[in-house]
Amino acid sequence: MLAYEKLVDVIILVAGDSDFVPAAKHARKKE
């Protein structure tokens, strides 16, 4: 799921939301 991981990176960069980052990291670990 390389495309998915890249999408998560983009979302983190765009959002810059401290509440969102932990959720994104958790999603990556799940993959």
Cα 15 versus chain centre, distance: 10
Residues 6+ apart with CB under 8 A from 8: 24, 27, 28
* 1-31 pLDDT tens trace: 688 888 888 877 776 666 666 766 777 776 6
How many structural domains are present in the chain?
A: 1
Residue 17 confidence (pLDDT): 62
Residue 28's domain comprises 1-31
Q: Let me know: does 20 contact 12? Beta carbons within 8 Å.
A: yes
| pTM of structure | 0.35
Residue 1 confidence (pLDDT): 64
For residues 24 and 14, what is the distance between their CA atoms, to the nearest angstrom? 13
Residue 18 confidence (pLDDT): 60
Return the structure tokens found at 14. 């765009």
